Chains A and B, each alone.
Chain A
Amino acid sequence: MDLNYVMATFARVGAGIGTTLKLFFITIVLSLPLGFLITLLERCRVAPLRVIAKTFVYLMRSTPLVLQLLFIYFGLPLLPGIGKYLELQRFTATIVGFVLNYAAYFAEIFRGGLLAVNQGQHEAAQVLGLTPAQTILHIVLPQMMRVAMPSIANETITLVKDTSLMFILAVPEVLQFAKSAVSSTGKTFPFVVAGVIYLVMNLIVTWALRRIEKKFEY
């Protein structure tokens, strides 16, 4: 195995890194706040909203992400009436699926985090005159995040790997290019390359998450 081959294989498999990273960042940026919103809705006083939020979380966590992607891309346009407005492009459909799915998981993580902040904190904030918004932002959120960070880190690392599921909607990314390379050359080295790429990505992600976790320590 010579260096040229190694470099060529890296170039070939690495062509998918851009798409993988795009999906990763967009998903994280959108699903975290959406997840938090859903957590709040689950605790809402308006019963129908509560029900919608809880049903959403149940659905997204109980069905495979691959299935959800297929449904969004192929199934939505089949809905009577509104179907024709729901024709999404492949990458858009992928993003929608990932964001909704991960938002549900984050919602559960935030819910656990909120439970960990005891009622006394809310009461102290209230008697000191903090508005509800100030309470959530300055008192509850930091404490919630400390509890939630390890789980969020877990999900984030899972996301790096889940990006390879884009294949089902035919969006080419790292693993797909590796498979193409393997099937056309008959050698398995491209899989090694793909593995290395995921390892490096996760190394960076893990390092970044560790630093963020430290910020919430007290």
Chain B
Amino acid sequence: MAMIQVNGLKKSFDGLQVLKGVNFSVDAGDVIAIIGPSGSGKSTLLRSLIGLETIDGGSITVDGASFVADGVYTDARSMRAITLKMGMVFQNFNLFPHYTVRKNCVKPLMMVKNVPEAEANALCDKLLAKVGLSDKAEQYPSHLSGGQQQRVAIARALMLNPEIMLFDEPTSALDPQLTGEVLSVIKQMAQEHMTMVVVTHEISFARDVASRIIFMDGGTVAQEGTPKQLLEESPSPRLAEFLGQVVR
């Protein structure tokens, strides 16, 4: 059974239709890279999965439980239970500036799942070590570089032990020399078989890490397949044009 099943997703903003009926599915262990030009609806799609956007039509099912069917949402409580299975990392990190790195990680877990402080701290230490930032635990986000902040954001999301991780253009706000450190963390997570959906402009990352690539254009899935299929063997004309435009 698919971890995520999306059918007929439609979404309009002020009369402009951004998603025009999107279908796709994500299996456990998949790493999906969503690529495409601006305005193609990539971010909107991702945000709809975790409930940051409300769709107008279609259905989303996560791990067998559906929180929206035919554009009709279930109650808030059920929806929250479902969306908590997913974690999200934002383009602009969205760390809490008034908390230290440690508090950023520990507080949400303590508040949401009532985990005792000692246990939360232990998990925090483990995850910070994983993203390579153990020595920054007592720093405030404003004292970290963009790449470091994003890695903290990843650790923070992982604290709640999500089954699926969503990344909304995780490196787009970073200086080129900092993207590497974030991408390698994501790569490591892929190797550990975390189910992930990554909206990105980093085509080489998509090629190396993704199990499937979805190319979105004009609000629909224009092409879908393995990296090999899309990028080497048979890119569609539109995809080829897009890839030609993306500066390597």
Contact = CB atoms under 8 A, between A and B. Distances in A.
Interface of A is mostly: helix
Interface residues of A, number: 18
The listed residue with most B CB atoms (<10 A of its CB), out of A126, A129, A142, is A129
A218 B140 contact: yes
A142 B112 CA distance: 19
A128 interface: yes
Contact of A123 (B94, B112, B113): B94
Interface of B: 50-52, 80, 83-84, 86-88, 90, 92, 94-98, 107-108, 111-113, 140, 142, 156-157, 160
B90 A138 contact: no
Contact of A129 (B84, B97, B142): B84
Contacts of A120: 90, 92, 94
Interface of A: 120-121, 123-130, 134, 138-139, 142-143, 146, 216, 218
Nearest 9 A-B pairs (CB), nearest first? Answer: A124-B94, A129-B112, A120-B94, A128-B108, A127-B88, A218-B98, A142-B98, A129-B84, A134-B111
Contact of B50 (A127, A130, A134, A142): A127
A139 B94 CA distance: 11
The listed residue with most A CB atoms (<10 A of its CB), out of B87, B112, B157, B160, is B112
6 contacts: A120-B92, A127-B83, A128-B160, A129-B84, A129-B160, A146-B98
A124 B96 contact: yes
A120 B111 CA distance: 19
Contacts of A128: 87, 108, 112, 156-157, 160
Given A127-B87, A127-B88, A130-B112, A121 B94 contact: yes
A143 B95 CA distance: 12
A143 B156 CA distance: 19
A143 B112 contact: no
Nearest to B103: A138
Contacts of A146: 98
Contacts of A124: 88, 90, 94-96
A142 B96 CA distance: 10
Given A123-B90, A216-B98, A218-B142, 7 more contacts: A126-B51, A126-B52, A127-B86, A127-B88, A127-B157, A128-B160, A143-B98
Given A127-B88, A128-B157, A121 B96 contact: yes
B43 to A, nearest CB: 12
A138 to B, nearest CB: 7
A138 B107 contact: yes
Given A129-B80, A129-B84, A218-B98, A123 B111 contact: no
Nearest to B83: A127
Contacts of B160: 128-129
A143 B94 contact: no
A143 B83 contact: no
A144 to B, nearest CB: 10
Contacts of B52: 123, 126-127
A146 B97 CA distance: 11
Nearest to A120: B94
Contacts of A216: 98
A120 B141 CA distance: 15
A138 B108 CA distance: 10
A127 B47 CA distance: 10
A127 B113 CA distance: 14
A130 B140 CA distance: 21
A129 B111 CA distance: 9
Nearest to A217: B98
B108 A129 contact: yes
